[in-house]
Amino acid sequence: MTPSVKTAATLYLWRQRTLYLGHIGRLSSLSQGAHTLLLGLDEEIPLTVSGQHFRARSYLIPAGVTFSADSRGKRIACCFLDPLGKDLLFHAPAMTAHKSGIFLNSSRQAIQLQTLHELYREEADAGRAYSVLEDRLFPAQNTNVEGFEPDERIAAVVEQIRSDPAENLSNEALAEQVGLSGDRLQRLFKQATGIPIRRYRLWHRLFVTSSMMAMGSTLTDAALAAGFSDSSHLTHVFKSMLGMSPSAVLRRSRHVRILVGGDG
């Protein structure tokens, strides 16, 4: 049931994962840079992939899959998962796989929805929310997930991109740092994350921009610091990956709280 008093939506930004809780409009033609767990907090969400239509309370959408969804003004939880795929492999076995590449209807969705409702109602801070989610929604850091074999070389490349998001190192330069050829790195990176290196770099720049704006930077200053050529470039990437303009989510207002946490 939708609460009679609308609680502000919250965008949580952590290093490994990002979570949006609250009301949002239609999400159109998204090809996100992260594996995504999407849940309807109030009711089923209509979703379209490759011309096929679905209705479910929970979806798991691998990075790079293009989809559209319509929350119809209801509350959603949209969680962007860890880049190396541990979360994806943790959630997938509990869901129904579809040939389109997505997964639906988690057997864990009752506890997932209960947890997300609790966080929404109490307007939890970033530290509290992450602690609860790692206990109930994500695999804990020391949990072994079947099928997950982390590649330290890919993890090192991810960390290099994170350490200097404005840097545009070539695939060859990144590959040299981890003892691979450029082509081999690109194949292994996409195998691990679901997306090419360039797309992951853009995705991380969105995270950096969002974090900086949450701390008071202007859209233009945050975009330039994160490595975008200008605010127009940021807006184009933001819309292509998230289906909305940055101002719709990132402006500091009574409708959206943006909380940055160091966990993960």
pLDDT tens for residues 51-94?
999 999 999 999 988 888 888 889 999 999 999 999 999 999 99
* 15 and 117 assigned to the same domain: yes
Confidence of residue 3 (pLDDT cuts 50, 70, 90): very low
The pLDDT assigned to 30 comes to 65
CATH of the domain at 162: 1.10.10.60
At residue 254, the pLDDT reads 53
Nearest-5° angle of CA 36, CA 129, CA 150? 50
Cα dihedral 37, 79, 134, 113 sign? negative
pLDDT tens per residue, range 180-233 = 999 999 999 999 998 999 999 988 998 888 888 777 788 888 889 899 988 888
Q: Which of 39-43, 69-73, 161-165, 258-262 has the highest mean pLDDT?
A: 39-43
Assess whether 133 and 166 both reside in one domain. no
Q: Is residue 4 part of a domain?
A: no
CATH number at residue 77: 2.60.120.10
| Residue 2 pLDDT greater than 60, yes or no | no
Q: Are residues 102 and 23 in the same domain?
A: yes
Q: CA 173 to CA 73: how far, in whole Å?
A: 45
Residue 200 lies in a domain: yes
**CA 249 – CA 20 distance, rounded (Å):** 9
113-158 residue pLDDT tens: 999 999 999 999 999 999 999 878 898 878 889 999 889 999 999 9
Q: In one letter, which amino acid is 85?
A: G
125 with 160, same domain? no
Q: Band of the pLDDT at 39, cuts 50, 70, 90? A: very high
Asked if the structure places residue 151 within a domain, the reply is no
Q: Please, are residues 30 and 241 in contact by the beta-carbon 8 Å criterion? A: yes
Q: Note whether 242 and 18 are within 8 A (CB).
A: no
88/215 same-domain check:
no
pLDDT at 249: 62
Residues 220 and 129 reside in one and the same domain = no
User: What is d(CA 210, CA 82) in angstroms, rounded to the nearest whole number?
Assistant: 17
Mean pLDDT of the chain: 87
Are 116 and 161 contained in the same domain? no
Domain that holds residue 201: 156-250
- Please indicate, yes or no, if residue 1 is contained in any of the structural domains: no
| The predicted structure's pLDDT at residue 1 | 39
Question: In the predicted model, is pLDDT for residue 264 greater than 60?
Answer: no
In a shared domain, residues 24 and 132: yes
**Contact indicator for 64, 85 with CB cutoff of 8 Å:** no
What is the pLDDT at residue 100? 93
Same domain? 96 vs 124: yes
pLDDT at position 16, please?
86
pLDDT score for 246: 75
Domain count, the chain: 2
* Same domain for 81 and 19: yes
On whether both 124 and 186 belong to a single domain, the answer is: no
Does residue 202 belong to any structural domain of this protein?
Answer: yes
pLDDT range class, residue 252, cuts 50, 70, 90: very low
Please indicate, yes or no, whether residues 138 and 86 belong to a single structural domain of this protein: yes
The pLDDT of residue 5 is: 47
Rounded to an integer, the average pLDDT of 11-21 is 89
What is the model's pLDDT at position 263?
64
Is residue 150 a part of any domain in this protein?
A: no
Residue 43: what pLDDT? 94
